[in-house]
Amino acid sequence: MTASTRPDLDSIPAYVPGRNHPGAVKLASNETTFGPLPAAAKAIAEAAELANRYPDNQALELRAALADFLGVTEANVTVGCGSVALCQELVQITCDAPTDEVVFTWRSFEAYPIVTKVGNATAVQVPLTPDMVHDLDALAAAVTERTKLIFVCNPNNPTGTAVGKAELTRFLDSVPERVLIVLDEAYFEYLRLAPEDFPNGVELGRTRPNVIVLRTFSKAYGLAGLRAGYAVGDPAVITALMKVHIPFSVNRVAQAAAIASLEARHELLDRTDTLVVERDRVRDALLAAGYRVPPSESNFLWLPLGERSAEFGEASAEAGVLVRPYGTDGVRVTAGDPHENDLFLSFATDSAVLRR
């Protein structure tokens, strides 16, 4: 006889990552195509030699480096096994009844509905605007006395669109202080909005104890395979996160690589400038070919292809480029290096899917 597990888990889909296939160009998971910098590779090798020892469970050195980098105190920062673990932990620290509500835009990051249901809470999904941007007024209007948490992914995955500082400030001011607002900035390093409207969650959160910011070493820092993300916010929220954190889940190698990458951040962030140029080049080519593509502030582009999404994804894979179809909503394609992007464009601009 099999042991009994929570019956409600049957209705929760497991997280489905972007496809991978040996030899194919992978533009399906918003990774960077660059490998770790030499300084990070050295730190990785050195840390691996101590694999028989547990890592620092409190990640003190990494948190100190982050605090210094962000201009906050160590009590304002904690780390997670990727920022996706922090998403799950944020539900754990705020929700303890099935009637508790977690509000977020849909479509947004695939993990939000999953971590909400795993946390036995109720997901409240608010549609994007017709321009595929967060509808912040509608998000604020969806808050009830049962709302415990709001996820705002900025720039939004998978649409790539971003909301600016003025709009975000109005939204943060309109939400009751008892509700924790998560600004998920996994793609922060690719934002290029004008300085006066630049939505820096850490700055906006300084005066707002109910704002918590998530960032990650997986994207611009190129460490997706090692799993290190971080949260910045009020010390009370950070302390709560540290209580539900799975002990030692940010491993020694990940911590060392993150510290080295932070030290070498100028080299790493030069790469994001190159990537942003490529992203805009791919978007221009897709627009010229007749696709609808919202402006992106991330390292990926969104093609709202509706019913044609799956077919487009399959045809692209057959052409050797893996992209990420999302049901009947659209397809997300990560900007890669110039060669990868050219391969994708030569498929996409000639695709039969476009002509129907």
Q: Which residues bind ligand PMP (CB under 6 A)?
A: 30, 82-84, 109, 153, 157, 184, 186, 216, 218, 224, 229
Instruction: Name the burial class of residue 52, with classes exposed (0-12), middle (13-18) and buried (19+) by CB atoms within 10 angstroms of its CB.
Output: exposed
Nearer to ligand PMP, 142 or 224 (CB): 224
- Nearer to ligand PMP among residue 136 and residue 153 (C-beta): 153
CB of 339 to ligand PMP, least distance (A): 24
Give the single-character DSSP code of 1: -
Continuous segment of H or E residues that includes residue 211: strand 211-216
Q: Which tokens go with 186?
A: 């996994």
Nearer to ligand PMP, 36 or 82 (CB): 82
CB of 139 to ligand PMP, least distance (A): 16
Q: Which is nearer to ligand PMP, 100 or 184 (CB)?
A: 184
Min separation Cβ 32 and ligand PMP, Å: 12
The helix/strand/coil state of 266 is helix
**92 or 157, CB closer to ligand PMP?**
157
Shortest approach of ligand PMP to residue 223 CB, angstroms? 9
Beta carbon nearer to ligand PMP, 223 or 285: 223
- SS3 track for 127-185: ECCCCCCCCHHHHHHCCCCCEEEEEEECCCCCCCCCCCHHHHHHHHHHCCCCCEEEEEC
- Smallest Cα–Cα separation from 219: which of 241, 197, 189, 246? 189
Q: What is the β-pairing status of strands 229-232 and 77-80?
A: antiparallel
Count the alpha carbons within 13 Å of 295 in the hemisphere toward its beta carbon: 6
**Residue in 230, 116, 109 with CA at minimum distance from that of residue 158:** 109
Least spacing, CB of residue 218 vs ligand PMP, in Å? 3
Q: Which phi and psi (to 5°) does residue 308 adopt?
A: -85, 0
Token pair recorded at residue 209? 């104890």
In the complex, the smallest distance separating the C-beta of residue 256 from ligand PMP, rounded to whole angstroms, is: 17
Calculated CA dihedral for residues 190, 191, 192, 193, nearest 10 degrees: 170
CB of 145 to ligand PMP, least distance (A): 27
Q: Give the shortest CB-3-to-ligand PMP separation in angstroms.
A: 29
Minimum gap (Å) between residue 56 Cβ and ligand PMP: 19
Q: What is the residue whose two structure tokens read 């129907």? A: 356
Enter the tokens of residue 229: 């993300």
Closest to ligand PMP by CB, 184 vs 278, is: 184
Report yes or no: 148 and 127 within 8 Å, Cβ to Cβ: no
Nearer to ligand PMP by Cβ, of 30 and 122: the residue is 30
Least distance to ligand PMP from the beta carbon of 250, Å? 11
CA–CA dist 180, 147 (Å, integer): 9
Residue labelled with tokens 């604020």: 140
C-alpha torsion 10→307→304→274, nearest 10: 80
Q: Which of residues 214 and 238 has its CB atom nearest to ligand PMP in the complex?
A: 214
Closer by beta carbon to ligand PMP, 336 or else 347: 336
Contact 279, 338 (CB under 8 A): no
